[in-house]
Amino acid sequence: MKDYSEYFKGPSLRDAKHRGKDEIHHIDDAYEVPADMIGIGKGQKYFIQTYGCQANERDGETLAGILESLGYEATDEIKDAQVVLLNTCAIRENAEEKVFGKIGYLKKVKRTNPNVIFGICGCMAQEEVVIQKILEKHQQVDMIFGTHNIHRLPVLLKQAMLDKEMVLEVWSKEGDVIENLPSHRAHPYKAWVNIMYGCNKFCTYCIVPYTRGKERSRLKNEIIEEVNELKAQGYQEITLLGQNVNSYGKDFDDGYNFASLLADVAQTGIPRIRFTTSHPWDFTDDMIDTIAQYDNIMPAIHLPVQSGNSEVLKRMGRRYSREQYLELFDKIKTKIPDCTITTDIIVGFPGETDEQFEDTITLYEHCEYDLAYTFIYSPRAGTPAAKMEDDIDIHTKEQRLYRLNDLVNEKALKQNQKYLDEVVEVLVEGTSKKDDNMLTGYTRHQKLINFKGNQDHIGQIVPVKVTEVKTWALKGEEIE
Ligand code: 5AD
Ligand code: SF4
């Protein structure tokens, strides 16, 4: 097998914590299409499958934009595609297993269509163990490229077309913010806008600081310009994206921060602004005041707690105690009384005792979240938690998850009941998948609602009366 060591300059999990404070480069001319790649995809199709979070979804839009700029068209059928990309997620083991299942399936596709080019990108492509496994066992893969190499797709695709060996490019050069990439947005009325990349928090269970590199912010002007363009194109809603949005601006030296950005984005007048994800540690009073002040910043905050026990939080490296989290939570609810708050929780962190898990339950009872995404802890190779002793068996962990999920459902229904008979504003996204006669969309508080209404109003924000509430969604009728 070819020696790939010179191509793989990937961030070593060991080295990542010793990140230098090297300068962050904002580059607007990095995207390059080799002359002989222009129009190469004419008459051909591409298929991209994206796993994981919104950051990955946004990357998927960029990948789609790049392939379309080369002339390829999208298809939903792998068998019709000449280029297939799996844009992967590494957050938990089951996310990776799904991808390996798909990689196995691609072997069959390659037998019937030997000219297809298969690429693996996204967070798994940043992991040495994954790359090793693909090199050893999955020769049907033609190219692997990392999260910092997306703009190089035209060049890598050319290499893959010419070269019989697998093309591998994973850079540890993680300090750049690359602008001006093509993009094909997935939705016509709501859009994701990256504001920062990477993460420096190093929670002990989490792979993201390694796969996405160091924290770096986009320049304010680039973000505002993007929002203004989206507004001019008729977009109604934007979601500001970052692994940790409230760290925005920490790499600037002028004090411009996430609260400042939120206010400036609000002043563009785009009808709806959301943001995700926030870390409780640097959620400032200024941020809360700004959210309260502007009507176009939606009162719906995702505020991951992870555990309700201070000792577990400490071992998770979360930088706050149960008490500090609750203080922040209560402050948000006081200053923005109608604000919905959702969260993420991990059960079965190494060594989590029954009593410590009970603290998560009592915290949940206090917060009565609108919704929670709950997970069983999954060890990630190279992270500090993966080396911690874990004497809790999987059966106990599963029981904790089921118990927590029952509480999540109970509170979700309770919170939704507040909206019964109320009139809510809904951004109409289209017709419901289950019933053509029903429209579907989200309220200001990020509640999914299916309702009877006027199809001509798709893409607009309309008033809807809530007639029925369920755990996962509301039902209603548009007010004419
Ligand atoms: N195991 C289980 N859940 C995890 N998350 C992140 N890393 C892990 C892991 N190793 C969860 C956290 C995070 C969400 C995106 O995924 O709750 O907030
Ligand atoms: Fe998955 Fe995290 Fe990567 Fe998003 S950043 S794709 S959640 S590993």
Residue range 71-91, pLDDT digits in tens: 999 999 999 999 999 999 999
* Distance of alpha carbon 61 from alpha carbon 190, whole angstroms: 13
Q: Which residues contact 242 (CB under 8 A, 6 or more apart)?
A: 55, 194, 195, 196, 197, 248, 275, 277
Full-model pTM: 0.95
Residue with the larger pLDDT of the pair 433 and 185: 185
Mean pLDDT score, 15-36: 79
231-269 pLDDT, tens per residue? 999 999 999 999 999 999 999 999 999 999 999 999 999
32-63 pLDDT, tens per residue? 999 999 999 999 999 999 999 999 999 999 99
Please provide residue 205's backbone torsions phi and psi, each rounded to the nearest 5 degrees.
-90, -10
Please provide residue 217's backbone torsions phi and psi, each rounded to the nearest 5 degrees.
-100, 145
Three-state SS at 409: helix
Give CA angle at 371 (369, 377), nearest 5°.
Answer: 100
Closest ligand to C-alpha of residue 52 is: 2
Closest ligand to C-alpha of residue 147 is: 2
Is residue 26 scored above 50 in pLDDT?
yes
- C-beta separation of 19 from 180 below 8 A: no
Is residue 138 scored above 50 in pLDDT?
yes
* Distance of alpha carbon 475 from alpha carbon 289, whole angstroms: 32
* Topology, domain 420-478: OB fold (Dihydrolipoamide Acetyltransferase, E2P) (2.40.50)
Is residue 200 scored above 50 in pLDDT?
yes
pLDDT band at 10 (very low <50, low <70, confident <90, very high): very low
CATH 3.40.50.12160 location in the chain: 5-176
Tokens 């029954």, residue located: 354
Q: How far is the CA of 52 from the centre of ligand 2 (A)?
A: 5
DSSP state of 24: P
pLDDT band at 218 (very low <50, low <70, confident <90, very high): very high
For the 5-176 domain, the top CATH level (class) is alpha beta
Mean pLDDT score, 10-36: 74
Query: What is the number of the ligand 1 atom nearest to the C-alpha of 344?
Result: 17
pLDDT at 165: 87
* Distance of alpha carbon 325 from alpha carbon 316, whole angstroms: 14
Mean pLDDT score, 414-437: 96
Distances (CA, A) of 421 to 105, 223, 368, 418: 49, 38, 21, 9
Query: Is the beta carbon of 392 within 6 A of some atom in ligand 2?
Result: no
Q: Which of 331, 319, 40 is nearest to 162 (CA)?
A: 40
Query: Is the beta carbon of 92 within 6 A of some atom in ligand 2?
Result: no
How do 300-302 and 340-347 pair as beta strands?
parallel
On average, the pLDDT of the chain sits at 94
| Token digits of residue 203 | 């929670």
CATH 2.40.50.140 location in the chain: 420-478
pLDDT band at 3 (very low <50, low <70, confident <90, very high): low
* Distance of alpha carbon 50 from alpha carbon 246, whole angstroms: 25
pLDDT at 11: 47
pLDDT band at 171 (very low <50, low <70, confident <90, very high): confident
- C-beta separation of 405 from 416 below 8 A: no
| Token digits of residue 357 | 């898990």
Q: How far is the CA of 90 from the centre of ligand 2 (A)?
A: 6
Q: Which amino acid is at 346?
A: I
**Residues above pLDDT 70, as percent of the chain:** 95
Q: How far is the CA of 122 from the centre of ligand 2 (A)?
A: 8
- Residues lining ligand 1, Cβ inside 6 A: 91-92, 205-206, 304, 306, 344, 346, 375, 377-378, 380
| Token digits of residue 428 | 């109409």
**Among 75-89, 167-181, 335-349, 423-437, whose mean pLDDT is lowest?**
167-181
Q: Tell me which range, 33-37, 174-178, 346-350, is most confidently predicted by mean pLDDT.
A: 346-350
Is residue 9 scored above 90 in pLDDT?
no
- C-beta separation of 272 from 463 below 8 A: no
For the 189-417 domain, the top CATH level (class) is alpha beta
- On whether 367 is known to bind a ligand per the annotation, the reply is no
pLDDT at 175: 73
